[in-house]
Amino acid sequence: MSTAPGYFVSFEGGDGAGKSTHVRLLGKWLGEVTGREVVLTREPGGTELGAQLRQAVLHGEDLDPKTEALLYAADRAHHVATVVRPALARGAVVLTDRYLDSSVAYQAGGRELAEGEVEDLSLWATDGLLPDVTVLLDLDPDEAAGRLSGSPDRLERAGAEFHRRTREAFLRRAAADPARWLVVDSTASLGDVQGQIRVDVAARLGLTPEVPA
Ligand SMILES: Nc1ncnc2c1ncn2[C@@H]1O[C@H](COP(=O)(O)OP(=O)(O)OP(=O)(O)O)[C@@H](O)[C@H]1O
Ligand SMILES: [Mg+2]
């Protein structure tokens, strides 16, 4: 848990699972019900340096797995130090589209680096900052791919087996730490999925219990 006065929520899941959509919808709603400042951000790329790192890691040349892991960790360190921690210290609600668990799922689950090493690298990079709540949008990668348009990036091109391992890694991590994770079935309609996220996130953060779905 973060110990700051704000709330820190991360969204995880495969490409096309609905992260960006639900970050936006939940952020708007949390701003209304809490009256707090809401910061919507993402990894990689939540800072100016991060945008350059995002370009390198998603649209640049082929990278070996360790280089890829280090670039994500560098993006995360800078993002946490300059965006996330200052916002939490101000009491803001910070919603991030991907965080540390994506590194573990993609670089360990997908690329098959050692899971403990990838996690420790991110914990070192962030001085141990973990979200208060992590929402996993769980969706079969084939179904998720059908929702995406545009040309695929380096990770999206990594293949069906890679994405199956990534999904399994997310689900394993969620099962191992149910106090932090909320697993949401993203096959339901957008409205139903958002409704469930609102109720469950509000409960986890200790917001008013009678919040409408
Ligand atoms: N429950 C849903 N039912 C149908 N379509 C959905 C649902 N949730 C999201 N979508 C649609 O799926 C597409 C992908 O969603 P979104 O961009 O939010 O996913 P993402 O997880 O952010 O993907 P990426 O990892 O590629 O950034 C969007 O067009 C969105 O409107
Ligand atoms: Mg997105």
Cα–Cα distance, 77 to 128 (Å, whole number): 10
By the 10 Å C-beta count (0-12 exposed, 13-18 middle, 19+ buried), 63 is classed as middle
Q: Which residue has the tokens 């936006």?
A: 24
Half-sphere exposure of 182 (CA within 13 A, CB side): 22
Fold of 7-205: Rossmann fold (3.40.50)
Q: How far apart are CA 3 and CA 18, in angstroms?
A: 28
Domain ranges of the chain: 7-205
Neighbours of ion ligand 2 (CB under 5 A): 20
66 labelled ligand-binding: no
Q: Are 76 and 43 in contact (CB under 8 A)?
A: yes
16 is in an annotated binding site: yes
Q: CB–CB of 198/23 below 8 Å?
A: no
pLDDT recorded at residue 91: 97
**Per-residue tokens: 152:** 């695929």
User: What is the pLDDT, as a whole number, of residue 41?
Assistant: 98
What was the pLDDT predicted at 138? 98
Nearest Cα neighbor of 129 from 69, 76, 208, 184 is 76
Q: Is the peptide bond before 131 cis (omega within 30 degrees of 0)?
A: no
Q: What is the pLDDT of residue 166?
A: 95
Whole-model pTM: value is 0.95
Going from the Cα of 127 to the center of ligand 1, the distance in angstroms, rounded, reads 31
Distance 169 CA to ligand 1 centre (A): 20
Look at ligand 1, atom 15, and give the residue with the nearest C-alpha. Answer: 18
Strand order of the β-sheet with 93-97 is 38-42, 93-97, 7-12, 133-138, 181-185
Q: Using CA of residue 118, residue 201, residue 8, residue 52, what is the dihedral sign?
A: positive
Collapse the DSSP code of 12 into the 3-class scheme (helix H, G, I; strand E, B; otherwise coil) and give the result.
Answer: strand
Among residues 11, 1, 7, the alpha carbon closest in space to that of 43 is found at 11
Whose C-alpha lies nearest to ligand 1, atom 31? 21
Residue list, ligand 1 pocket, CB within 6 Å: 13, 15-21, 147-148, 186, 188-190, 193
Q: Whose CA is nearest to atom 9 of ligand 1?
A: 18
> Kind of pairing, strands 7-12 and 181-185?
unpaired
The b-or-e profile of 19-30 (16+ CB within 10 A means b, else e) is bebbbebbbebb
Closest ligand 1 atom to 192 CA: 1
- What is the model's pLDDT at position 112? 87
pLDDT of residue 155: 86
For 67, other C-beta atoms within 10 Å of its C-beta total 13
Was 14 annotated as part of a binding site? yes
In tens digits, the chain (213 residues) has pLDDT values of 566 799 999 999 999 999 999 999 999 999 999 999 999 999 999 999 999 999 999 999 999 999 999 999 999 999 999 999 999 999 999 999 999 999 999 999 888 899 999 999 999 999 999 999 999 999 999 999 999 999 999 888 888 999 999 999 999 999 999 999 999 999 999 999 999 999 999 999 998 745 455
